[in-house]
Amino acid sequence: MPAPRGRDFEQTRKDLAVWLGAKLPEATDLELGPLSGPGLTGFSSDTFLFDASWREGERERREGLVVRLRPSGFPVFPAYDIAKQFHIQRALADTDVPTARMFWLEEDERFLGAPFYLMGRVDGRIPPDSPTYHQDGWLKQELAPQERADLWWSGLEALAAIHRVDWRARGLDFLRPDAPTPLDFQLDSYERMLRWAGGRPKPVLERAFAWLRAHQPRNEEPEVISWGDARIGNMIFDGTRCAAVLDWEMAGIASPELDLAWWIYIDRHHSEGAGAPRLEGLPDREATVARYEELTGHRVRHLDYYEVFGAVRFAVIMVRLAQQFDHYGLLPADSRFEVDNTASRLLATVLGIPVTELTGDDDG
């Protein structure tokens, strides 16, 4: 994940030390190591990793820690609820879901200039997004096909564990949207996000939303904790075992198939969408669905619909990422990336629409 722009790392380290010292009144000789970022795995939040050491009486303590802040600068999402992320992860602490240890939530902006929470660092590796793990990186270069399969299944088991959690018993009722169904809320949210982003006309996305409204499942669906950004690129792996589930900014209550479809679709984007062959050993769509049904007892009924929705969701997010890249001067002045990118092209493929319609240009 890119390091936060425009932030003074050394001053932030000093401010964190003051804040943490107040949280550890029995600590002496508190020291914080240099701040670093977790790598190029995302673009929507500000995250720092650091080591802290201190003494409690005669006992020496050392912790690897992570601070996650509400994003600064050009935002990807219209709203970013740090408190929601913290409370979800804390509620999952003693379940089968592998999560980091959550320490404190700080909603007072005067300490670091934005709300943040502190959690324990989990050792391991994250499959890369840029380039995707199908193109390069340790998953491709170092793992044998069976090890890749083991990693995929371990991640899917973590996803299934999220969906098995009784969210009402965990005090997560606040996640349930005030809407006829969670899907209604999701559709409304992403349409609003597209309007909020503005920019160039996006006829393919407009057609996609019309299709989603026309084909929306009308039967009652189960409501589970939806991770929202369910993919192996948001997991830390210790070898091939999922050690922690990360990045809960898109979480809510939804049909379990929203997450399962996203899991399958993002992997498709990272291979087909990125022009790379899918890695040998990774289980296919049918095997993944069958295993998910075994793990949860849920019979998957609307996966095709939610895969289209996944393609739409990612294309909308990519619009905003393109605008962020442009804002920071990372794109040429004549770039069409906002409307013509890997996500929008794969969406056109999913819908059977010529890619020429993305921009209206005859050459595509």
Let me know: does 132 contact 270? Beta carbons within 8 Å. Answer: yes
What is the average pLDDT score of the chain?
A: 93
**Alpha-helical regions (H) of 63-144:** 82-91, 138-141
Query: pTM, whole model, 2 decimals?
Result: 0.93
CB–CB of 86/175 below 8 Å? no
Three-class secondary structure of residue 127 per DSSP: coil
pLDDT tens track for 300-352: 999 999 999 999 999 999 999 999 999 989 999 999 999 999 999 999 999 99
Domains of the chain: 9-120 (3.30.200.20), 138-358 (3.90.1200.10)
pLDDT of residue 165: 98
pLDDT tens digits, 243-290: 999 999 999 999 999 999 999 999 999 999 999 999 999 999 999 999
Q: Centre a 10 Å sphere on the Cβ of residue 164 and count the other Cβ atoms it contains.
A: 17
pLDDT tens-digit series, residues 140-168:
999 999 999 999 999 999 999 999 999 99
The neighbour count for residue 91, using CB atoms within 10 Å, is 20
DSSP code of 36? B
Cα distance between residue 299 and residue 294, in whole Å: 9
How far apart are the two ends of the chain, measured CA to CA in Å?
31
Q: What is the pLDDT of residue 45?
A: 56
Of the ranges 2-6, 88-92, 192-196, 200-204, which one carries the lowest mean pLDDT score?
2-6
Q: What is the distance of C-alpha 305 from the center of its chain?
A: 21
pLDDT at 254: 97
pLDDT the model gives residue 41: 43
Measured in whole angstroms, how far is the alpha carbon of residue 245 from the centre of its chain? 9
Distance CA 22, CA 25 (A): 6
Our separate counts of H helices and E strands in the chain read 10, 9
Q: Could you tell me which of 39, 25, 60 has the C-alpha nearest to residue 124?
A: 39
Strand partners, 132: 129
* Selection from 313, 312, 338 nearest residue 327 by Cα: 338
The catalytically annotated residue of 46, 229, 259, 267 is 229
- pLDDT of 297 higher than 70: yes
Nearest to 53 by CA among 42, 62, 66: 62
Q: Is 229 designated active site?
A: yes
Q: Please report which helix (H) or strand (E) contains residue 183, including its range.
A: helix 182-197
pLDDT in tens, 91-132: 999 999 999 999 999 999 999 999 999 999 999 999 999 999
The two tokens of residue 41 are 């795995």
Closest residue by Cα to residue 88 from 172, 213, 203: 172
The full DSSP string for 68-88 is: EEPPPSS-SSS---HHHHHHH
